[in-house]
Chain A
Amino acid sequence: MPTSVIAPAFDVEKIREDFPVLKQHIHGKPLVYLDSAATAQKPVSVVDAIRHFHEVDCANIHRGVHELSQRSTAAYEETRAKAKQFLNSKTVNELIFVRGTTEGINLVATSWGGKFVKEGDELVISAMEHHSNIVPWQLLCERNGAVLRVIPMNDRGELILEEYEKLLNPRTRMVAVTHVSNALGTVNPVKEIVAMAHKAGAVTLIDGAQAAPHIRVDVQDLDADFYTLSGHKVVGPTGIGILYGKSALLNAMPPYQGGGDMIKVVTFAKTTYADLPYKFEAGTPNIAGGIGLGAAFDYVNAIGLDKIAAYEHELLLYGTEALSRIPGLRIIGTAREKAAVLSFVMEGIHPHDIGTVLDRQGIAVRTGHHCAQPVMDWFKVTATTRASLAFYNTAAEIDALAAGLAKVKEIFS
């Protein structure tokens, strides 16, 4: 059985067998998928779990007494139990199903922020946030008269903790920071960031969209008050994600949306709400997505997050070296703690042109501002090309990227 040349213990070829989408040709060339930070590809087991639900168990959850409803409820709730293990939360009641990280952040900004943030209060985010961890807080500031503060970063794309400390004061209500930057790959010291926020009396939210599929997350160890992730970045389906929140906070918050499934008793005089986690889960959810996410957690656990992290780090080192050899190419984001993201610019060549030429060679990369325009502004570029790696990528695919970039240079110089 062929194994990886860069990490012989990691049988990447065997893993690739689980991802049918990778076996195709694009414009006559084998697909080289380097856009997993946008969305990860799905293993057969996830596709099968979703199919099984639709073909065999399909019913609404938490409602019927009939067999199918009981099966679908059990399968859906099993994912919550798997999420508890995946994130190491204290209880399953602290885990809310949401559409994804974006909804998780909006839920907290609206429900928690609406109740606890007052005029003149301060919210702290960082210079490397995705738009989804900027705009919900800006909306809250507009509604409640709070002020947004931004932790700056250095030339490597690392947050400057000394500057962060200066931003903290008794008015700081919330510190919302990404665990891993989608545009730069920076892994932030979130445990330290959370501890500093707590010392100042602030609540914390960690955007885990880019972290969860690549590094082990332990919400109790981090002591984060909220942690949120998207299923589709963890090889699960789109439209499903998890928001973790400490139960004391979640209990103190009003519901986010009203509807079925989130109530105890409804009368026209007064409605009492369901207990956690259902208080935050109005309406029929993405049941198939939830079940698919459970299969995704199983898949990732079976390989092991520590093995995944080690392999991806080898890939990152290999890719960094390969790209560094290309004259005129500059890697954007060179943090000392970094996930497998290679964002770069090439002198005199626009990322969209790079993306098109690579696509014609079967190579899928993301080009543009990566929903992180402030990051682009900070590095004084309008856009970058981003190759983001996952555990199903190979060193040979990085060689293909390097060859593709040589072709780019040939056309444009």
Chain B
Amino acid sequence: MVDDLYQDLILDHSKHPRNCHAMDDATRRAEGYNPLCGDKLKLYVKMDGDVVKDASFVGSGCAISTASASLMTESLKGKTREEALKLLDKFHDLLTTDTPVTKDLGKLVVFCGVRDYPARVKCATLAWHTLKSALDGATDTVTTEE
């Protein structure tokens, strides 16, 4: 059923995205682009030493990509760079493999339904690809087609 994909938490975050604003004092910025659907996303990260102090985004996308960006920015705060990258790997596994869902993903487990919709995986990972680019300090627009 399509409700497995569009769970209430995803619908809530897509309709009322959190941290959806530009950030003037961000220390890292990156842009993400999904050429398949034309969705664009700007990500702002404020680092305090090695720790993500704040994160926000702007951009227009589908319910999955918007909710993913919203929930990602929430989950990043307080994490070290290394922890954030580890979370990215786990999130990617959640979407693309049959590995059992683990607790340490927190609210992000709500995206587990995406694995049954291969065409939508890139919607869910756009924000995370962009995060990696921001943390790596790249300046180019990152795309989902790498």
| Interface residue from A353, A368, A373, A382 paired with B63 (Cβ < 8 Å) | A353
Residue of B nearest to A377 (CB): B38
Residues 67-123 of B contacting A (Cβ, < 8 Å): 117, 119-120, 123
For A369, the chain B residues whose CB sits under 8 A away are 37-38
In the complex, which of the residues A350, A373, A376, A411 contacts B62, with contact meaning CB atoms closer than 8 Å?
A: A350
The reply to whether A356 and B117 contact each other, CB–CB distance below 8 Å, is yes
Cβ-neighbour of B60 out of A353, A376, A382 (below 8 A): A382
Q: Among A350, A351, A360, A373, which residue has its beta carbon within 8 angstroms of that of B1?
A: A360
Min CB gap B109→A, angstroms = 20
Q: Restricting to B1-49, which residues have a CB under 8 Å from any CB of A?
A: 1-3, 5-6, 11, 14-15, 36-40
* Cβ B37 vs Cβ A412 within 8 A: no
Residues of the B chain whose Cβ atoms lie less than 8 Å from the Cβ of A349: 63
Contacts of A376 in B (CB 8 A): 38
Instruction: Tell me which residues across on chain A come within 8 A of B1, comparing CB atoms.
Output: 360
- Please, how many angstroms separate the alpha-carbon atoms of A352 and B2 in the complex? 13
Cα distance A383–B117 when bound, in Å?
20
Q: Which residues of A contact B36 (CB under 8 A)?
A: 368
Residues of the B chain whose Cβ atoms lie less than 8 Å from the Cβ of A367: 37
Which one, B3, B11, B15, B120, contacts A352 given CB within 8 A? B120
- Pairwise interchain contact A357-B2, C-beta atoms closer than 8 A: yes
In whole Å, how far is B27's beta carbon from the nearest beta carbon of chain A? 29
CB pair B38 A382 closer than 8 Å: yes
Check A383 against B38 for contact (C-beta < 8 Å). Answer: yes
- Closest chain B residue, CB of each to CB of A348: B15
A residues less than 8 Å from B5 (CB atoms): 356
Q: Which residues of A contact B40 (CB under 8 A)?
A: 382
Bound-state CA distance A382–B3 (Å) is: 25
Chain B 103-146 per-residue mask, 1 if CB under 8 angstroms from chain A, else 0:
00000000000000101100100000000000000000000000
Interface size on A, residues (CB 8 A): 18
Q: Is the CB of B37 within 8 A of A411?
A: no
Q: Which residues of B contact A350 (CB under 8 A)?
A: 60-63
Interface centre among B1, B11, B38, B64, by most A CB within 10 Å? B38
Instruction: Decide if B37 touches A356 in the complex (CB within 8 Å).
Output: no
For A373, list chain B residues within 8 Å (CB): 38
What is the CB-to-nearest-CB distance from A373 to chain B, in angstroms, rounded to a whole number? 7
Report Cα–Cα, A356/B1, bound state, in Å: 11
User: Do the beta carbons of A382 and B39 come within 8 Å of each other?
Assistant: yes
Indicate which residue in A357, A360, A383 contacts B37 across the interface (CB closer than 8 Å). Answer: A383
**Complex contact A353–B37 (CB within 8 A):** no
| B62 adjacent to A353 (CB under 8 Å) | yes
> Residue B2 contacts which of A348, A351, A360 (CB distance < 8 angstroms)?
A360
Do A356 and B60 touch across chains, with their CB atoms under 8 A apart?
no
Expressed in whole angstroms, the Cα–Cα distance for A367 and B64 within the complex equals 15
Interface residues of A in 384-400 (CB under 8 A from B): none
Distance A373 CA – B1 CA, assembled complex (angstroms): 32
Q: Tell me if B38 and A352 are in contact (CB < 8 A).
A: no
> Chain B residues with Cβ under 8 A from A412's Cβ?
6, 11, 14-15, 63
Q: How far is the CA of A103 from the CA of B26 in the complex (A)?
A: 47
Residues of B within 8 A of A356 (CB): 2, 5, 117, 119-120
- Give the docked Cα–Cα distance between A369 and B39 (Å): 10
Residues on the A chain within 8 Å of B60, using CB:
350, 382
A353 touches B38 (CB 8 A): no
In whole angstroms, what is the CA distance A412 to B120 when docked? 17
**Which chain B residue shows the least CB distance to A368?**
B37
A376 CA to B6 CA in the complex, in Å?
Answer: 26
Interchain nearest-CB distance for B40 vs A (Å): 8
Q: Are B37 and A382 in contact (CB under 8 A)?
A: yes
Residues of the B chain whose Cβ atoms lie less than 8 Å from the Cβ of A411: 2-3, 6, 11
Which residue in chain A gives the minimum CB-CB distance to B39? A382
Mark out the residues of chain A between 262 and 317 whose CB falls within 8 Å of any chain B CB in the assembled complex.
Answer: none
How near does chain A come to B122, taking the closest CB pair, in angstroms? 10
**Distance (Å) between the CB of A138 and the closest chain B CB?**
17
Closest partner residue, chain B, to A361 (CB atom): B2
Q: Which residue of A lies closest to B6 (CB)?
A: A411
- B15: which A residues are within 8 A, CB to CB? 348, 412
Q: Quick one: closest A residue to B1, CB to CB?
A: A360
Q: How far is the CA of A162 from the CA of B25 in the complex (A)?
A: 50
Residue of A nearest to B5 (CB): A356
List 17 contacting pairs A-B, 8 Å CB cutoff, sorted by A. Answer: A351-B37, A352-B64, A353-B6, A353-B62, A353-B63, A356-B117, A368-B36, A373-B38, A382-B40, A382-B60, A383-B37, A383-B38, A411-B2, A411-B3, A412-B11, A412-B14, A412-B15
**Sorted from nearest, which 10 A-B pairs have the closest CB atoms?**
A350-B62, A352-B62, A360-B2, A382-B38, A353-B63, A353-B62, A369-B38, A368-B37, A357-B2, A383-B38
Since A350-B63, A352-B62 are in contact, a sample of 5 more A-B pairs with Cβ atoms closer than 8 Å, ordered by chain A residue number, is A352-B64, A356-B117, A356-B119, A383-B37, A412-B11
